[in-house]
Structure 1
């Protein structure tokens, strides 16, 4: 009985690691000679500049098979060598996050100094996993005509997702939150950063922490929920963080827009019908910069990123209530239409340390300060609700150690702090009741969230801790 308990305990410990390994990238295959016989003892090396140790090594087993796990997304050169055979090299192997490439080799008798190089299209089908998955690199996200370049944008590219819309970033960070999205009607999406969960605990589990897209190498979206290796009944979205390298690299970007760069379709007919003020972007800016490189080549890398994003939006036909505090709504035309604003900033630092030939340690920190005013879908200006998400922080640490060709040891810790106090807008008393006109769906007098009793509760904090 005691032996059975120990076995069950080990199984429970190994299951999360197996599930995480399914999310990491890798290369596997089989090595044979020209007659079709399997070759054990072949040294297999995967080299890429994205690896701080430069080369990851494995050896084929008695069936000529090998497997390299926990590889970062990037382009690899795979080399096969064995005494008495010519060296076989396959270049241009491209790995995306969570993808395992099948690379087989056929080695000919000859000198090890002789090299046979094979170039061809990198494998496109992962024959080792059955889950449905979409991957998008940071280069692809940068070229898309979208506003946020984050997890939300990946949902927009996936058939079956129901998400809020965003035009050029005008939806804002929280206006297009990915926690409320559904896949074929199913909510409860699991949001991961470096394969560790960062969902908020509240409500439907939306993301209190929002990733800085300039710090993300690639985003993957797993849609095959319900599989044995899946840890979510909905979808699993994972962001792979960027790392430094042996060369210094960086970039700067600046985006700007305002109401002078747009038009509207306001017509005399609409004005006569009572529609007086169209929605428009009053201001929109996005400033970001990154820098990565070596502190010690092949030993210690750093990557830093900052981003400042904000906007000011005029809501269509959204006027303040001239008779505030009464059961009636009278638009205050003299005051002009209401507007909402949002400010979001992020400061990221990631360190990668190759402590020994096999021990790799990573550390990540992102400190954010975010403020936002969000309206109901159809509301007067005083019915907006204001959030002060400050400070928001994510701290992570990880360790990996390939013990043997078949055993990978790894551990990780994640801590997320999410503050979300909400407040009435100036001029709105805590005693003002939110009023909804059921015939038109129009809300006025106070914000929707205050109707739920959340507006005067003072500061609130959600802390999330996780591991892998």
Structure 2
């Protein structure tokens, strides 16, 4: 932070306010005029700065994505504290604090793009240099091993780090699997970092996929959904058509809902601007009959008559006592 002459301003108060929740983070500038506001959740913020003898500084519409480390230079003007400078309609904040490279998949794309089995991790393929090497038919949220088959920028397969709100989300059983796949309606956004990570990501030999979950806000919001498949909507398989067989019975239901908002206990506690909740549930039910061929005994065999016991060519099989 500096004034119009370039001189640094120490002991100034800097405040970041989350537009959706009104959560506030406060910091003070040090002797070099720098400040740090760590651990901000992704979202849109308003930043204000105040110092004795200077006008109040206000900057709106600052968007922070998951994993961002953004630097905002604040220029103060001499004046009364009752006066203010409001900065709006600027270009997006340029991330100059780190050299890492990646792509943010925002909530709009997570929610609206078609997803087989509604697995948000499959949108990672939108990032340049990211390849999915697993079997395309295994993309369900509980296919934890198959959906971890990613390579980033030509790196080794399954050597990536999966994070959930910054916490490790890898399961080592059977390989570098994904421990938990959140439902689409619970994901705010996620970021795929493909190179030039800082030291905190030194554990991984591949890419970093960091998912940010939704939080409640000052307004109540909810969703309900049902994705279904039925035999009547499906085409018959090539193999069944060739054999003159009808379609096998099949059903699939992927359903759930979410709700979030402030924690309110009438006449006891008002959590607006302070405490929030978010709940999501998803169910998955699928049934697919599988053809099965079995050999069962003839009625005569149950009575000890094995004259109908033959091999595949119809030749009788002699039963004898090997002892």
TM over 0.5, yes or no? yes
Aligned pairs (5 A) from 1:58-69:
58-69=27-38
Contact kept, 8 Å, 2:17 with 2:24, in 1: the verdict is: yes
TM-aligned CA distance change 1:66 to 1:281, over 3 Å: farther
- 1:40 lines up with 2:10 in the alignment: yes
2:79 pairs, out of 110, 114, 120, with: 110
Give, in angstroms, the shift of residue 71 of structure 1. Answer: 0.3
Aligned pairs (5 A) from 1:18-167:
31-50=1-20, 54-160=23-129, 161-164=131-134
Name 2:194's counterpart in structure 1. 223
TM-aligned CA distance change 1:102 to 1:286, over 3 Å: same
Give, in angstroms, the shift of residue 79 of structure 1. Answer: 0.8
Tell me the distance in 2 between the aligned counterparts of 1:124 and 1:55.
19
What SS is found at the alignment partner of 2:170?
coil
TM-aligned CA distance change 1:264 to 1:321, over 3 Å: closer
TM-score (norm 1): 0.54
* CA distances 1:167-222 after superposition (whole Å, capped 9, x unpaired): 8xx84334583223333241222222222223222121212433233222222222
More contact order relative to length (CA 8 Å, sep ≥ 6): 2
- 1:243 lines up with 2:188 in the alignment: no
Tell me the distance in 1 between the aligned counterparts of 2:155 and 2:67.
25
Contact kept, 8 Å, 2:3 with 2:75, in 1: the verdict is: yes
What SS is found at the alignment partner of 2:39?
strand
Tell me, which stretches of 5 or more residues in structure 1 are unaligned? 1-30, 325-468
Tell me the distance in 2 between the aligned counterparts of 1:35 and 1:225.
35
What SS is found at the alignment partner of 1:67?
coil
Count matched residues.
284
Name 1:311's counterpart in structure 2. 286
Give, in angstroms, the shift of residue 147 of structure 1. Answer: 2.6
Contact kept, 8 Å, 2:223 with 2:258, in 1: the verdict is: yes
* CA distances 1:45-99 after superposition (whole Å, capped 9, x unpaired): 11114556x2111122222222211101110011111122111111000010011
TM-aligned CA distance change 1:240 to 1:267, over 3 Å: closer
Structure whose CA Rg is larger: 2
TM-aligned CA distance change 1:125 to 1:105, over 3 Å: closer
RMSD: 3.2
* CA distances 1:114-166 after superposition (whole Å, capped 9, x unpaired): 11111124535321112222222333211111134444223222233224465
TM-aligned CA distance change 1:181 to 1:322, over 3 Å: farther
Tell me the distance in 1 between the aligned counterparts of 2:173 and 2:225.
34
Tell me, which stretches of 5 or more residues in structure 2 are unaligned? 264-269, 297-323
Tell me the distance in 1 between the aligned counterparts of 2:191 and 2:245.
41
What SS is found at the alignment partner of 1:234?
coil
What SS is found at the alignment partner of 2:36?
strand
Aligned pairs (5 A) from 1:269-308:
271=242, 282-295=250-263, 296-297=270-271, 298-308=273-283
